[in-house]
Amino acid sequence: MLADEGRRRRVAVVFGGRSSEHAISCVTAAGVLRALDRQAWDVVPVGIAPDGRWVLAADDPGRWELRDGVLPEVDGDDGPAVLAPRSPVDQGLTALEPGDVPRALGAVDVVLPLLHGPFGEDGTLQGLLELSDTRYVGSGVLASALAMDKHYAKTVLVAAGIAVAPWVLLTERSWRTDRHGRLGTVLAMAAEAGADAVFVKPSRAGSSMGVTRVLVRSDGAEVDGAREALTAAVETARQHDPRVLVEAGVAGRELECGVLGGLGGAAPQASAVGEVAVTDGRDFYDFEAKYLDGDAVALTCPADVDDDVAAAVREVALSAFDALGCEGLARVDVFAGADGSVVVNEVNTMPGFTPSSMFPRLWEASGLTYPALVERLLLLALERPTGLR
In tens, the pLDDT along 81-103 reads 998 887 787 778 888 877 675 77
What's the pTM value of the predicted model, to 2 decimals? 0.89
Q: Is pLDDT above 60 for 377?
A: yes
Alpha carbons 159 and 174: distance in angstroms, whole number:
24
The pLDDT of residue 290 is: 47
**Mean pLDDT to the nearest integer, 149-159:** 97
**Mean pLDDT to the nearest integer, 314-332:** 98
136 CB contacts (<8 Å, ≥6 apart)? Answer: 110, 111, 112, 113, 126, 129, 381
Q: Is pLDDT above 80 for 189?
A: yes
State whether CATH 3.40.50.20 applies to domain 9-136. Answer: yes
Domain range summary for the chain, segments of one domain joined by +: 9-136, 147-163+251-383, 167-248
Q: Is pLDDT above 90 for 35?
A: yes
The pLDDT of residue 79 is: 86
Q: In terms of CATH, what superfamily is 167-248?
A: ATP-grasp fold, A domain (3.30.1490.20)
348 CB contacts (<8 Å, ≥6 apart)? Answer: 147, 206, 330, 331, 332, 333
Q: Domain spanning 147-163+251-383 has what CATH number?
A: 3.30.470.20
**Mean pLDDT to the nearest integer, 327-350:** 95
* Average pLDDT over all residues of the chain: 89
**Mean pLDDT to the nearest integer, 357-384:** 95
Q: Is pLDDT above 80 for 128?
A: yes
**Mean pLDDT to the nearest integer, 62-84:** 88
Min mean pLDDT across 234-238, 276-280, 308-312 is at 276-280
**Mean pLDDT to the nearest integer, 308-325:** 98
Cα angle 65, 71, 76 (rounded to 5 degrees) comes to 90
The pLDDT of residue 288 is: 53
Min mean pLDDT across 40-44, 109-113, 127-131, 275-279 is at 275-279
Tens of pLDDT, residue by residue over 265-302, are 999 999 999 998 876 654 654 445 444 445 556 889 89
Residue of higher predicted confidence among 356 and 237: 237
